[in-house]
Amino acid sequence: MDSFFKLKGNDKADNISRMYLLSGNTRIEFDGTYKLVDIKDENGTSRGIISFNKSGKLTDVPDKKYVYTVPNYFPGTAIFAKLLINDDDLNNEQN
């Protein structure tokens, strides 16, 4: 996920890239609106989370535009990505 957000950059430069996670009857869309945030769990271990809501709390309801139910059950987990890769993305990988 971190790699997706690094490649995507900001919305002004890339409003095309999307990543989708499909598991069971749930589909999650990543477009950069909600960012990956590091938090410390009860043991002090750093974890990356995306709450998909404005409060940033996992206990609050996620934004239905980004986390929603799909009618057909998928028996596993699939990740789909549509990426806009510019020259600067390729140059950053070489440095």
Per-residue pLDDT reduced to its tens digit, 19-46: 999 999 999 999 888 988 998 988 999 9
Q: How many other CB atoms sit within 10 Å of the CB of residue 5?
A: 15
According to the model, what pLDDT value does residue 10 have? 66
Contact of 26 with 68, CB cutoff 8 Å: yes
According to the model, what pLDDT value does residue 6 have? 67
pLDDT at residue 11 greater than cutoff 70:
no
Q: What is the DSSP string of 13-40?
A: T-SS-EEEEEEEEEEEEESSSS--EEEE
Write the pLDDT tens digit of every residue in 65-88: 999 999 999 999 999 988 877 776
Q: How far is CA 13 from the centre of its chain?
A: 17
Give the pLDDT band (50/70/90) at residue 95: very low
Q: Where are the domains of the chain?
A: 2-94
| Token reading at 91 | 């140059």
